[in-house]
Amino acid sequence: MFIYNTMSRSKEQFNPIKPNRVKLFVCGPTVYDDSHIGHGRTYIAFDCIARFLRYQGYSLFYLQNITDVDDKVIKRAREKGTDPLVLAREYERRYLADMKALGVKNVNLYARATEHVPEIIVQIKILLEKGFAYETETGVYFEESKFPDFGKLSRRKLEDLTVHRVDPDPSKRSPGDFALWKKIDKQPSWDSPWGRGRPGWHIEDTAITEEYFGSQYDIHGGGLDLIFPHHEAEIAQMESASGLKPMVRCWMHTGFLNVKGEKMSKSLGNFITIRELLQRWDGDVFRFLVLSTHYRSPIDFGEEALIQAHNSLERVRKTLKKLDELLKSNLDDEGSSNVKNIEIWDEAHKKFIEAMEDDFNTPQALSVLFEIVRNINRQMQNEIFTKSSITRIKILFEEWGEILGINFLPGEKQERTDDVLNILLDVRNQLREKKEWELSDKIRSQLKDLGFGLEDN
């Protein structure tokens, strides 16, 4: 299997540190608002990558952080007149519901920054002891000039770098030095050797990954916009603290999602949250759209693209539905075409897997899938299917659907969904009869998060 490594700007054969075991970390959200479709694109891509790694037999630990303490969280909480941690928990809940609706279910652990402050403090202590950081009256800062490799991921020279995370603190030795710890007595804040305060943005990721993975691991992922300064800062922190290089064997980054050719922005009026999207479109449709483009390439998002994705997905589903109808008829289980068909489908499966092994090339994998759909439709005109051949096709599409995270056999899924909903509604009615309003309202609220509206008459 070959993966494009942002560090080397080339595809490299994937060899994890420990054979058959993969440690994957992807930067998670800052939970101060609903996640947008750009976030959705990244997390769908890495969910598909995680699915395929597991399909290939790797024991995968997929870790994602939750930034639940940050200036953005505190500012939004102040605007809403609520506690920052209460606000963060609410948007974290909504984020997880959004991910579930998009079929993102392969993360093993979501690690909150606020639950790893002791690990953060330990890492800052080490950086201070080794001379890579210094303390001022306002906080503790990483001194970029002490790490000569700063900029190696983005391929920028330290002397050419523009100031990032602009901080007016005049006590910093250099404008580019970034905060590891901010001395702030207001809540939320924690005790530390440098007084009460809270961690900087970059340090939470390295402290969390070191806690669960150690100082070196296999894959680090995120959007292109995180390469500089966030991922550069992570490299500087971890490699300075541990003395080990490289911090990560393979860096993976997803391309941008643009709306009608423009960068998504609230000021441009083209900012779309995942929740807004799911009010009009099925999660599988958006997922199909995302995977129709290679994860490293930009996506130009728009209504036309969604319609095309919807129509393409429906074409696959209608073909499989026709096969289901054939399966229910009195088909013979004999046929000279079986051997030839099995060879065609086995070859298609081989090509599908080869596409995924080539830097998770989902567009190429989907082209293989559609070639089989065309083949099925041609054969149906000649009525040469048998029960065993149809069963084999269904198994093939179930396998591909599990890798891509797309349900190509929605009828069976809908029946199971209806059964689960009926059980939930029955339990809720019993709670209402017992006047347990709080729990019954919670069920209704969480059903609404998943896209099911419920009204009591």
Model pLDDT, residue 451: 64
Mean pLDDT along residues 186-197: 95
State the DSSP code for 228. I
Which pLDDT band, with edges at 50, 70 and 90, does 336 fall under? Answer: very low
pLDDT band at 328 (very low <50, low <70, confident <90, very high): confident
pLDDT tens for each residue of 440-453? 888 888 887 666 77
Q: What is the mean pLDDT of the chain?
A: 90
For the cut 60, the answer to whether the pLDDT of residue 217 exceeds it is yes
- Give the Cα separation of 46 and 314 in Å (integer): 24
- Give the pLDDT confidence score for residue 300 in this predicted structure: 93
Task: Determine the pLDDT at residue 296.
Answer: 98
Burial label, 437 (beta-carbon count in 10 A; 0-12, 13-18, 19+): exposed
Q: Cα dihedral sign for 128, 134, 135, 138?
A: negative
Q: Name the residue among 39, 31, 32, 30 with its Cα closest to residue 277.
A: 39
H helix or E strand, kind and range, residue 262: strand 262-263
CB 273 within 8 A of CB 36: yes
pTM value is 0.88
CA end-to-end span of the chain: 56
- How far apart CA 135 and CA 60 sit, in angstroms, is 38
pLDDT value of residue 343: 80
Tokens for 148?
């000569």
Q: How many CA atoms lie within 13 A of 40 on its CB side?
A: 33
Q: Cα 354 vs. chain centroid, distance in angstroms?
A: 23
pLDDT of residue 325 exceeding 90, the answer is: no
Instruction: Kindly compute the dihedral angle of the four CA atoms of residues 224, 104, 251, 27, in this order, to the nearest 10 degrees.
Output: 70
When pLDDT is averaged across residues 122-143 and rounded to a whole number, the result is 97
Residue 374 main-chain phi, psi, to 5 deg: -65, -40
Residues in the chain: 457
- CA 106/CA 120 separation, integer angstroms: 26
User: Of 389, 354, 393, which is closest to residue 373 (Cα–Cα)?
Assistant: 393
Please tell me which residue, 331 or 63, carries the higher pLDDT value: 63
What's the average model confidence in pLDDT over 148-156? 93
